[in-house]
């Protein structure tokens, strides 16, 4: 018998890559997604890659009755991986209530439905944004969290606090919060990848869309930071490496290997690259010139953010395999496939 995992937001960018890794590790997957920022075609693409079609229920997790119904139908599931959330930083600043409502209603309804239906293992999709502007680098999980700049980031920080309270109150329940650094890249098949709606906020999709001629030029937000070339440094991680960590975290919960009822792990490579490093690598990998211009700083950007990966290595036995050029070339293949499909 395969163990069943409920994946909320399983049609999204990180969710869909995780579904593939779960299937390849012999789990049965049920996806709950409202398709608000994703596409049902992803299910067919998952089938194309794995030969298996995961079960899919179109559910808006803000609706507590529908959420409970969906969980009830799959109460034999062993764990939930909760990706479903809004994630656009800029939009969250413009529309904070939309973000607080969506991200918290969904989280709370999922937790309630889960405990109603006796499913006691939970993986939460968190972000390095919970560290705010760190004083010490690389960032370990011991670093204090700080109020993030954006409402989006704040939903991640508060969600971790909710999980902390909840795991203390419900002794049956265990959770792992995975703090992502900067996920980029796409599946090697070229079948799935990031689908930014509208103008991308993040660096990588902005670069690939500029190279594809959809955006005129990339704005580089500031070159006066205290870094080697003046542009901010981030820890970019391949989405497939990231997805694999979710499978390991699920197995840890199922085998009851966790040391605390709520654990936190950084998911990054431990290596920081500047914006200009990313641009230069893109140019050399694709053998092209990118049109970009240095402009003023973007509100809320911190100079440097990169992970200490020791805890994930030691406790999860997880480390990353894929280098920056691999991340960038897979993003580029995906972008070109998207364009060919749309033409």
Q: 142-156: buried (b, 16+ CB within 10 Å) or exposed (e) per residue?
A: ebebeebbbbbbbbb
Binding mask 94-133 for ligand UD1 (x = CB under 6 A): ---------------------------------x-x----
Figure out which of the listed residues 202, 258, 329, 336 binds ligand UD1, where binding follows CB under 6 A.
202
Binding mask 299-328 for ligand UD1 (x = CB under 6 A): -xx---------------------------
Q: Any contact of residue 206 with ligand UD1 (CB under 6 A)?
A: yes
Catalytic residue among 13, 99, 152, 273, which? 152
Contact flag: residue 282 with ligand UD1 (CB under 6 A)? no
Number of neighbouring beta carbons within 10 Å of residue 141: 18
- Which residue number, 92 or 309, has a Cβ lying nearer to ligand UD1? 92
Task: Round to whole Å and give the CA distance between 283 and 332.
Answer: 11
Rounded Cα distance between 206 and 328, Å, is 12
Answer for which of 22, 80, 220, 328 binds ligand UD1 (CB under 6 A) is 220
Contact indicator for 61, 8 with CB cutoff of 8 Å: yes
Enumerate residues 6+ apart whose C-beta is below 8 A from 305.
128, 131, 134, 137, 139, 181, 232, 233, 234, 235, 272
One of 7, 59, 89, 328 touching ligand UD1 (CB under 6 A): 89
Alpha-carbon span 315 to 170, nearest angstrom: 24
Residue 17 interacting with ligand UD1 (CB under 6 A): no
Decide: is 186 part of the binding site for ligand UD1 (CB under 6 A).
Answer: no
Candidates 41-49, 136-144, 249-257, 298-306; binding stretch for ligand UD1 (CB under 6 A) = 298-306
Contact between residue 175 and residue 227 where contact means Cβ atoms under 8 Å apart: no
Both tokens assigned to 186 = 């796409």
C-beta neighbour count of 195 within 10 angstroms: 17
CB of 183 to ligand UD1, least distance (A): 7
Cβ-in-10-Å burial (0-12, 13-18, 19+) of 284 comes to exposed
99 is a catalytic site residue: no
Closest distance of CB 106 from ligand UD1, Å: 17
Residue among 4 and 156 whose Cβ is closer to ligand UD1: 156
Q: Which strands make up the sheet holding 28-33, listed edge to edge?
A: 55-58, 28-33, 4-8, 79-82, 121-127, 174-180, 262-267
Residue among 78 and 227 whose Cβ is closer to ligand UD1: 227
Asked if residue 219 binds ligand UD1 (CB under 6 A), the reply is: yes
Stretch that binds ligand UD1, among 12-20, 53-61, 165-173, 197-205 (CB under 6 A): 197-205
Which letter does DSSP use for residue 307 in this model?
Answer: B
| 3-class state of residue 238 by DSSP | strand
Q: Which of residues 232-261 bind ligand UD1 (CB under 6 A)?
A: 232, 234
**Residue 149 binding ligand UD1, by CB under 6 A:** yes
CA distance 37 to 208: 19
CB of 225 to ligand UD1, least distance (A): 8
- Asked if 277 is part of the footprint of ligand UD1 (rule: CB under 6 A), the reply reads no
Cβ pair 332, 282 in contact under 8 A: yes
Residues annotated as part of the active site? 152
Q: Which residues bind ligand UD1 (CB under 6 A)?
A: 87, 89, 127, 129, 149, 153, 182, 201-203, 206, 218-221, 232, 234, 275, 298, 300-301
């Amino acid at each position: 018998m395969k163990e069943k995992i409920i994946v909320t937001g399983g049609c999204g960018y990180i969710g869909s890559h995780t579904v593939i890794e779960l299937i390849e590790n012999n789990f049965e997957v049920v996806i709950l997604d409202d398709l608000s920022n994703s596409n049902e075609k992803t299910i067919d693409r998952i089938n194309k890659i794995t030969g298996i079609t995961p079960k899919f229920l179109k559910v808006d997790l803000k609706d507590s009755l529908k959420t409970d119904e969906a969980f009830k139908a799959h109460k034999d599931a062993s764990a939930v991986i909760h990706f479903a959330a809004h994630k656009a930083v800029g939009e969250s600043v413009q529309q904070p209530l939309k973000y607080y409502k969506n991200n918290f209603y969904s989280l709370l309804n999922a937790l309630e439905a889960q405990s109603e239906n006796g499913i006691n293992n939970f993986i939460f999709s968190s972000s390095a944004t919970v560290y705010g502007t760190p004083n010490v680098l690389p960032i370990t999980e011991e670093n204090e969290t700080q109020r993030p700049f954006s409402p989006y980031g704040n939903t991640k920080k508060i969600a971790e606090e909710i999980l902390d309270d909840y795991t203390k109150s419900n002794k049956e329940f265990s959770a792992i919060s995975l703090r992502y650094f900067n996920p980029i890249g796409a599946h090697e098949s070229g079948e799935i990848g990031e689908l930014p709606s509208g103008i991308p906020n993040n660096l990588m999709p902005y670069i690939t869309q500029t190279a594809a001629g959809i955006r005129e030029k990339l704005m580089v937000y500031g070159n006066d930071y205290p870094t080697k070339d003046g542009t901010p440094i981030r820890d970019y991680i391949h989405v497939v490496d990231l997805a694999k960590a979710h499978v390991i975290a699920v197995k840890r919960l199922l085998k009851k290997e966790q040391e605390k009822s709520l654990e936190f792990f950084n998911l990054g490579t431990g290596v920081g690259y500047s914006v200009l490093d990313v641009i230069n690598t893109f140019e050399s990998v694709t053998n092209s010139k990118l049109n970009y211009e240095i402009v003023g700083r973007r509100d809320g950007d911190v100079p440097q953010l990169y992970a200490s990966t020791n805890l994930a290595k030691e406790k999860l036995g997880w480390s990353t395999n894929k280098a920056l050029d691999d991340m960038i070339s897979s993003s580029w293949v995906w972008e070109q496939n998207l364009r060919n499909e749309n033409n």
